[in-house]
């Protein structure tokens, strides 16, 4: 096992350090009990197995284990990386592990990867994919991510056809919620496309892949790097000029919305030069079956001039999305750091549950104190974030947007489809 994948210390702390709360002085009457052998915690047993158990060591050497994660198989691949399905050996939660071949990265790509990790560290939103942990070996880097088991938007539309008007509203509202949160945090995604819009097993939307994302100092800061997929690229990107970040993401959202409600792309061509001409001309045709309010929103977004495009706040109040109550998240950055468990904080409902779950696994106050400053590059952080995410999810933090009222058009949506989606939203709230 690579030395950079630091194992949790197997040293047995004295007295009650295996509690996350402060320990009191020991009682002399209990010395005999303290000296007697005790059962190893799950964390201690796993750590010892990784150092001494032949089967576990072999799995680590051949790549069937990475840190505390058991790798099951490959679920995707990119130019410099592969994505594998795995599960945490302690918590048993499924995760996605992005395996990056560091030997194939040039200096520019290394900087992009570092920026991707830094940006994901700073994001905490129900519609953005979680980063749990980062592990590093001499030739590889492993990003342990939330596993979204429902596939991606591109695959869904390619296999099942366009979304209904109501389904499009629910999906688009979640994408918009995530993008607004990013922009409010001065983060530009720059690669919004259907392949990067994932679904969880309960149909919650997750924006993924921050490889081209960047952090800006202000909304007016100019950028100059062509990023993302050409079919989703805004006209200003094809002009090879400096551009503002937020309108580029907004344009990509317009292309996504067109793709959702029609099943096709607004600008299509055989080659990138031809595609460039189509985008710069700004000519596209919206099918007549698309509702008038949705058509108005698409036209408001896909405007060639960046300053004339719909702002995200305008989208929130547009007629088409009026029936949809988007997520009103109140993210707490401190929740991503396990050391916050040792501080008394009011209003954090999950604190006691997370505290108890970590104790059961054997995570101690000493582990957490030794974890400070490591961010995602620690197995303790990985355990903590997985447990925290599971508890938040079970409390309904990732439910579908609610529908407050719909004037139904029988030409677009059947009453049965509406009721089914309404029922799904209620189930997510109750789960």
CATH number at residue 242: 1.10.510.10
Tokens of 337: 């750091």
pLDDT band at 18 (very low <50, low <70, confident <90, very high): very low
Same domain, residue pair 80 and 136: yes
Q: What is the pLDDT of residues 143-169, one digit of tens each?
A: 999 999 999 999 999 999 999 999 999
User: Of 328, 346, 370, which one is at a domain's C-terminal end?
Assistant: 328
| pLDDT over 70 at 303, yes or no | yes
pLDDT score recorded for residue 350: 81
Name which residue leads in pLDDT, 11 or 353.
353
Same domain, residue pair 113 and 210: no
Same domain, residue pair 133 and 161: no
Same domain, residue pair 133 and 157: no
pLDDT score recorded for residue 324: 86
- Quick check: is 414 in a domain? no
pLDDT score recorded for residue 260: 97
| pLDDT over 90 at 335, yes or no | no
CATH code, domain with 84: 3.30.200.20
pLDDT score recorded for residue 339: 83
| Enclosing domain of residue 184 | 153-328
Same domain, residue pair 303 and 166: yes
- Quick check: is 173 in a domain? yes
User: Of 121, 146, 171, which one is at a domain's C-terminal end?
Assistant: 146
- 98 annotated as ligand-binding: yes
pLDDT score recorded for residue 304: 94
Same domain, residue pair 292 and 166: yes
Same domain, residue pair 211 and 309: yes
pLDDT band at 411 (very low <50, low <70, confident <90, very high): very low
Name which residue leads in pLDDT, 395 or 193.
193
| pLDDT over 90 at 188, yes or no | yes
pLDDT score recorded for residue 36: 61
pLDDT score recorded for residue 413: 46
| pLDDT over 60 at 78, yes or no | yes
pLDDT score recorded for residue 395: 85
In percent, the amount of the chain with pLDDT more than 70 equals 82
- Quick check: is 362 in a domain? no
What is the mean pLDDT of the segment spanning 310-336? 78
SS3 readout for the chain: CCCCCCCCCCCCCCCCCCCCCCCCCCCHHHHHHHHCCCCCCHHHHHHHHHHHCHHHHHHHHHCCEECCEEEEEEEEECCCEEEEEEEECCCCCEEEEEEEEHHHCCHHHHHHHHHHHHHHHCCCCCCECCEEEEEECCCEEEEEEECCCCCEHHHHHHHHCCCCHHHHHHHHHHHHHHHHHHHHCCEECCCCCHHHEEECCCCCEEECCCCCCEECCCCCCEECCCCCCHHHCCHHHHCCCCEEHHHHHHHHHHHHHHHHHHCCCCCCCCCHHHHHHHHHHCCCCCCCCCCHHHHHHHHHHCCCCHHHCCCHHHHHCCCCCCCEECCCCCCCHHHHCHHHHHCCCCCCCCHHHHHHHHHHHCCCHHHHHHCCCCCCCCHHHHHHHHHHHHHHHHCCCCCCCEECCCCCCCCCCCHHHHHHHHHHHHHHHHC
**Catalytic residue set:** 191
pLDDT band at 332 (very low <50, low <70, confident <90, very high): low
Same domain, residue pair 311 and 195: yes
Please state the pTM of the whole predicted model.
0.85
- Quick check: is 44 in a domain? yes
- Quick check: is 317 in a domain? yes
- Quick check: is 371 in a domain? no
User: Of 328, 346, 379, which one is at a domain's C-terminal end?
Assistant: 328
- Quick check: is 295 in a domain? yes
| pLDDT over 80 at 407, yes or no | no
Q: What is the number of domains present in the chain?
A: 2
Q: What is the pLDDT of residues 203-254, one digit of tens each?
A: 899 999 999 999 999 888 999 888 889 999 999 999 988 999 999 999 999 9
Same domain, residue pair 36 and 160: no
What is the mean pLDDT of the segment spanning 331-350? 72
Same domain, residue pair 198 and 312: yes
Same domain, residue pair 136 and 203: no
Which of 6-20, 37-51, 222-236 is predicted with the least confidence, judged by mean pLDDT? 6-20
Same domain, residue pair 135 and 177: no
- Quick check: is 294 in a domain? yes
What distance in Å separates the CA atoms of residue 121 and residue 217, rounded to the nearest whole number?
18
For the chain, the average pLDDT equals: 84
What is the mean pLDDT of the segment spanning 91-113? 92
């Amino acid at each position: 096992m690579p030395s950079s994948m630091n194992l949790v210390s197997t040293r047995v702390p004295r007295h009650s350090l295996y509690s996350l709360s402060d320990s009191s002085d020991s009682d002399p009457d209990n010395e005999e009990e303290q000296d007697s052998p005790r059962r190893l915690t799950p964390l201690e047993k796993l750590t010892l197995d990784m150092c001494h158990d032949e089967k576990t060591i072999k799995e680590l050497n051949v790549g069937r284990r990475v840190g505390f994660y058991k790798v099951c198989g490959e679920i995707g691949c990119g130019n410099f990386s592969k994505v594998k399905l795995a599960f945490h050996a302690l918590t048993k939660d499924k995760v996605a592990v992005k395996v990056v071949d560091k030997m194939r990265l040039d200096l520019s790509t290394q900087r992009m990867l570092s920026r991707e990790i830094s940006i994901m560290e700073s994001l905490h939103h129900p519609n953005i994919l979680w980063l749990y942990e980062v592990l590093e070996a001499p030739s590889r880097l492993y990003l342990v991510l939330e596993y979204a088991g429902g596939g991606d938007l591109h695959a869904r539309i390619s296999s099942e056809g366009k979304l209904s008007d109501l389904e499009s509203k629910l999906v688009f509202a979640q994408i918009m919620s995530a993008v607004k949160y990013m922009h409010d945090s001065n983060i530009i995604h720059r690669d919004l496309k259907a392949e990067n819009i994932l679904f969880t097993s309960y149909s919650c939307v997750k924006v993924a892949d921050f490889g081209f994302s960047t952090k800006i100092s202000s909304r007016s800061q100019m950028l100059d790097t062509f990023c993302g997929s050409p079919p989703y690229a805004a006209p200003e990107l094809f002009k090879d000029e400096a551009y503002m970040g937020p309108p580029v993401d907004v344009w990509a959202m317009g292309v996504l919305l067109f793709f959702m409600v029609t099943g096709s792309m607004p600008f299509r061509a055989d080659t990138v030069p031809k595609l460039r001409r189509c985008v710069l001309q700004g000519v596209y045709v919206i099918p007549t079956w698309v509702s008038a309010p949705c058509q108005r929103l698409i036209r408001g977004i896909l405007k060639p001039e960046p300053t004339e495009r719909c702002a995200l706040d305008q989208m929130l109040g547009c007629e088409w999305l009026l029936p949809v109550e988007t997520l009103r998240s109140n993210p707490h950055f401190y929740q991503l750091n396990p050391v916050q468990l040792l501080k008394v904080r009011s209003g954090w409902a999950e604190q006691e549950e997370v505290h108890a779950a970590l104790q059961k696994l054997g995570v101690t106050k000493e582990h957490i104190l030794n974890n400070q400053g490591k961010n995602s590059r620690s197995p303790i952080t990985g355990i903590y974030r997985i447990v925290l995410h599971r508890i938040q999810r079970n409390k309904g933090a990732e439910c579908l947007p609610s529908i407050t009222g719909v004037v139904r058009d029988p030409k677009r949506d059947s009453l049965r489809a509406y009721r089914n989606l309404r029922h799904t939203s209620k189930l997510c709230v109750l789960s």
